[in-house]
Amino acid sequence: MRYISTRGAAPALDFEGVTLAGLANDGGLYVPEAWPSLSRDDIAGLAGLSYAETAVRIMAPFVGDSLTSDELRALCEEAYGRFDHAAVTPLTQLDGQHWLMELFHGPTLAFKDVALQLLGLLFERFLSNRDTHLTVVGATSGDTGSAAIDALAGRAKVDVFMLHPLGRVSDVQRRQMTTVLSPNVHNIAIQGSFDDAQAIVKGLFADRDFATRFDLSAVNSINWARLMAQIVYYFYAAVRLGAPERAVAFSVPTGNFGDVFAGYAAARMGLPVARLIVATNVNDILHRAIAEGDYSVGQVTPTAAPSMDIQVSSNFERLLFELHARDGAALAATMGGFETSRALRLTDAMRGQASGLFSSARIDEDGMAMAMRWAFERAAELIDPHTAIGLAAAREAGLARNVPVVTLATAHPAKFRDAVERATGVRPSLPARFAGLFDREERFTTLPATREAIRDYVAGHAVERV
């Protein structure tokens, strides 16, 4: 399998190459040159397999020659062996139509663990026979940071610099990052928003000299390996609910468009997906884009679902690439215009194409709280604010009663216990392994939200290529 950049000008790479590179050097994102395809029999053959074995079957075509299937299996068994539920991503039924897919049974209680536990092992495996020290620079609105830090802390050939927006993540999220004191972990609170953090990270990659000097790599969903690992649970859930005989819809709490793009990839690979519902909070650029074709950047409003307080969604570029008929030069021109004007319009043809699979909804804070209460009163389930946005969107989507709708439960409710308590009156508790989280020493550096400040800090603490 080879990977090409959405902007058409970077060299094509194999799976090992894209995993280590993160972002393409033309500013684009890597995507598979062609979507692998699974037949109905292949999909039916996934029934009854363990999560790890399902992962091997789905990811093998993407990994190509970069790993043998025994190596891939060993990595999947190790990564998913760290989850505290035997099914890894279990389904819970809420009523006759609605299900939750619980993606929060990993070490840091969010869906990010599904991909980042594997990515940590992939880095280690690919670096084992290279004389390279990676400098991972990432941006987080709370969950990617803790999952990446858990996956990379203490690894000999990687340093991780994680930027979070000061004061805009939950206390549990922050402490999950800042109480990890390994020397290779560098937490930075920036005086700005998540969008500022993400723009700084992309800016550092765009500085080719800097990116080469420090062997920059990415753990955000700009890294293809992140999305690849997330495709697996769409197949795993759909097969449990009757695929390939029955199509399943998914409602996805969306910020950076990574999770829902993984659902798109599953559909492109042959999974019968009835609908992908893009659920946003009041930071609704993606809802406006899908519903009206208006992808224009507004101000970020802090909400009780802070991990979705995002305006510029990095993976939307991967969908735009598909909607530009995979023409990298055309997309590079579109993105150039967007970077200047902070706005772009989808043509009617693009919107028409997207609407075959995607729909969207914007859920405000009241809608979110109501969904938390509904899940609790109706099914005795405590759900986190992000999941609640997905569930509210699922319930208002108006899909035929015979279509099962799976809402992705992207975080454990205890990560956002204040918001959950406000909505339901119940304060969810953290699993026992987090006892003491609030007594531990925290370490982070606060910096201005400028590329220069972050570049200087990274340069002062990272390992330079010899």
Ligand X SMILES: Cc1ncc(COP(=O)(O)O)c(C=O)c1O
Ligand Y SMILES: N[C@@H](CCOP(=O)(O)O)C(=O)O
Which one of ligand X, ligand Y, none is in contact with 220 (Cβ closer than 5 to 8 A by kind)? ligand Y
Q: 386: closest CA among 274, 260, 207?
A: 260
Site mask, ligand X, residues 33-62, x = CB under 6 A? ------------------------------
User: What is the residue whose two structure tokens read 């697996």?
Assistant: 232
* Interface with ligand Y (CB under 6 A), residue from 140, 179, 184, 187: 140
Q: Does residue 102 touch ligand X according to CB under 6 A?
A: no
* Interface with ligand Y (CB under 6 A), residue from 16, 102, 113, 143: 143
Start-to-end Cα distance in the chain: 31
Would you say 455 and 161 are in contact if contact means Cβ atoms under 8 Å apart? no
Q: Does residue 256 touch ligand X according to CB under 6 A?
A: yes
Q: Does residue 257 touch ligand X according to CB under 6 A?
A: yes
Which one of ligand X, ligand Y, none is in contact with 140 (Cβ closer than 5 to 8 A by kind)? ligand Y
Task: Give the contacts of 139 (CB within 8 A, at least 6 positions apart).
Answer: 162, 163, 164, 194, 197, 198, 200, 201, 220
Stretch that binds ligand X, among 88-96, 253-261, 324-332, 399-407 (CB under 6 A): 253-261
Torsional sign, CA 296, 300, 304, 308: positive
Kindly tell me which of 187 and 256 has the beta carbon lying closer to ligand X.
256
Mind telling me the catalytic residues?
112
Q: Does residue 259 touch ligand X according to CB under 6 A?
A: yes
Task: Give the contacts of 80 (CB within 8 A, at least 6 positions apart).
Answer: 51, 52, 55, 88, 117
Residues 301-320 binding ligand Y (CB under 6 A) are: 307, 314
Q: 261: closest CA among 360, 187, 358?
A: 358
Task: Give the contacts of 104 (CB within 8 A, at least 6 positions apart).
Answer: 110, 111, 113, 384, 409, 410, 411, 412
Q: Does residue 365 touch ligand X according to CB under 6 A?
A: no
Stretch that binds ligand X, among 252-260, 336-344, 395-403, 420-428 (CB under 6 A): 252-260
How far, in Å, CA of 77 to CA of 414, rounded?
A: 27
Which one of ligand X, ligand Y, none is in contact with 386 (Cβ closer than 5 to 8 A by kind)? ligand X
Residues 103-122 binding ligand X (CB under 6 A) are: 110
Alpha helices, DSSP H only, in 276-435? 285-292, 316-323, 328-341, 348-355, 365-379, 385-395, 417-424
Which one of ligand Y, ligand X, none is in contact with 145 (Cβ closer than 5 to 8 A by kind)? ligand Y
Stretch that binds ligand X, among 249-257, 369-377, 394-402, 430-438 (CB under 6 A): 249-257
How far, in Å, CA of 369 to CA of 229, rounded?
A: 30
* Interface with ligand X (CB under 6 A), residue from 193, 311, 410, 424: 410
Residues 67-86 binding ligand X (CB under 6 A) are: none
Kindly tell me which of 16 and 309 has the beta carbon lying closer to ligand Y.
309
* Interface with ligand X (CB under 6 A), residue from 98, 133, 202, 386: 386
Residues 252-281 binding ligand Y (CB under 6 A) are: 255-256, 258
Task: Give the contacts of 68 (CB within 8 A, at least 6 positions apart).
Answer: none
How far, in Å, CA of 145 to CA of 166, rounded?
A: 13
How far, in Å, CA of 279 to CA of 401, rounded?
A: 20
Q: Does residue 254 touch ligand X according to CB under 6 A?
A: yes
Contacts with ligand Y by CB under 6 A lie at: 140-145, 220-221, 255-256, 258, 307, 314
Q: Which residues bind ligand X (CB under 6 A)?
A: 110, 143, 221, 253-259, 307-308, 386, 410-411
